[in-house]
């Protein structure tokens, strides 16, 4: 039995369908991140799980019961919002205990739960303040505390870190990871930030236009993207996509005379097929003279040092190739270099369907 099961959920607003059949089953303790750009339907899906919006069809089950039509308060969920959504005229203590207060939990028990949550989140000193006396990070801790004390079956997070500055976001991300490791509650977390998704998730559902493009572990999403969209969305800079043609057991890079051998796992692909070759910028390195293996020759156009890495933009037959190199790589604009990579790092996609090519085992 799954902790949370989303079955063929559809949602339409008039003629516009924003969710086109979503299926996800989560085991207890999983951390699912719904990742996608704005308008992809991820927040709508979260609101449907919370009961703040109604699905047009499909079912959602928590444990062994369907929760469609059940009031949000009776779904055994707790939610954390992007805007923190604290009650402005209540103290931090009452904000955290609000859900318990509404459920008529005795004062002593409520106080104990609030204290415990405050201790976990290190906000014990703030309990008697009002929300307007707190910083953004403190407010989000209170909002998380309010969800924690309820001890729900499922936590829902709606872009909880988006309103924080970069440094705080990093801190809170680690904090959330620590809390999840400690509490092991099932989490559904909505974000458009791929780093948050990669670091927090046990599984990521990349969404686009109301559909799931790929559901998988962060490692799968990053290393084996199922579609060109996922390949382009996850990773910064995104995966390089080069137009290639299969000819005589080799991949010819369009607009150049460069050809690399077709990996054995793609041997089933017929001659003449026009494909998209995907390779992560991080998988490229500067080739040295005496090392054999796959490499692509390219002319360097721009070199940007970010600190930890040197982002190199080069051209190969008119197509762009970005490589994330070690900061000390000796490379300058205008030079020709060979960029080496392992065969394992290479992915092929069908540009017509956008899907990854089948791999023969």
Name the site residues for another protein (rule: CB under 8 A).
Answer: 47, 50-52, 71-73, 77-79, 81-90, 98-99, 102-103, 132, 146
Of the two residues 85 and 359, which places its CB atom closer to another protein in the complex? 85
Of the two residues 79 and 287, which places its CB atom closer to another protein in the complex? 79
Of the two residues 40 and 149, which places its CB atom closer to another protein in the complex? 149
Q: C-beta of 103: minimal distance to another protein in Å?
A: 6
Q: C-beta of 140: minimal distance to another protein in Å?
A: 13
Of the two residues 71 and 167, which places its CB atom closer to another protein in the complex? 71
Q: C-beta of 96: minimal distance to another protein in Å?
A: 11
Of the two residues 52 and 259, which places its CB atom closer to another protein in the complex? 52
Q: C-beta of 88: minimal distance to another protein in Å?
A: 5
Q: C-beta of 81: minimal distance to another protein in Å?
A: 4
Of the two residues 84 and 222, which places its CB atom closer to another protein in the complex? 84
Closest to 277 in 3D by CA, of 246, 299, 308? 246
Q: C-beta of 165: minimal distance to another protein in Å?
A: 20
Q: C-beta of 128: minimal distance to another protein in Å?
A: 15
């Amino acid at each position: 039995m799954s902790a949370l099961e989303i079955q063929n959920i559809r949602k339409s607003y008039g003629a516009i369908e924003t969710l086109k059949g979503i299926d996800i089953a989560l085991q207890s303790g999983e951390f699912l991140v719904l990742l996608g750009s704005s308008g992809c339907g991820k927040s709508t899906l979260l609101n449907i799980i919370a009961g703040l919006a109604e699905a047009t069809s499909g079912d959602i089950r928590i444990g062994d019961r369907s929760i469609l039509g059940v009031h949000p308060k009776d779904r055994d969920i707790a939610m954390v919002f992007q805007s923190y959504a604290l009650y402005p005229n209540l103290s931090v203590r009452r904000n955290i205990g609000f859900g318990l207060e509404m459920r008529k939990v005795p004062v002593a028990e409520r106080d104990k739960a609030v204290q415990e949550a405050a201790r976990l989140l290190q906000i014990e000193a703030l309990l008697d303040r009002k929300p307007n006396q707190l910083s953004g990070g403190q407010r989000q801790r209170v909002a998380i505390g309010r969800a924690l004390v309820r001890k729900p079956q499922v936590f829902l997070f709606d872009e909880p870190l988006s309103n924080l500055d970069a440094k705080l976001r990093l801190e809170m991300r680690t904090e959330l990871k620590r809390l999840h490791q400690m509490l092991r509650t099932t989490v559904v977390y909505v974000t458009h930030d791929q780093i948050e998704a990669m670091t927090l998730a046990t599984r990521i559902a990349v969404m686009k236009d109301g559909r799931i493009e790929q559901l998988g572990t962060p490692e799968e999403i990053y290393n084996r993207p199922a579609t060109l969209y996922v390949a382009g969305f996850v990773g910064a800079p995104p995966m390089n996509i080069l137009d290639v043609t299969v000819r005589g057991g080799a991949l010819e890079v369009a607009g150049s005379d460069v050809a690399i051998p077709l990996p054995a796992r793609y041997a089933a692909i017929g001659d003449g097929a026009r494909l998209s070759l995907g390779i992560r910028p991080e998988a490229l390195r500067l080739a040295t003279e005496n090392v054999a293996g796959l490499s692509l020759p390219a002319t360097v156009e721009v070199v940007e040092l970010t600190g930890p890495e040197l982002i190199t933009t080069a051209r190969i037959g008119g197509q762009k190739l970005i490589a994330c190199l070690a900061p000390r790589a000796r490379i300058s604009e205008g030079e020709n270099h060979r960029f080496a990579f392992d065969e394992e790092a290479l992915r092929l996609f069908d540009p017509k369907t956008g899907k990854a090519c089948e791999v023969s085992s």
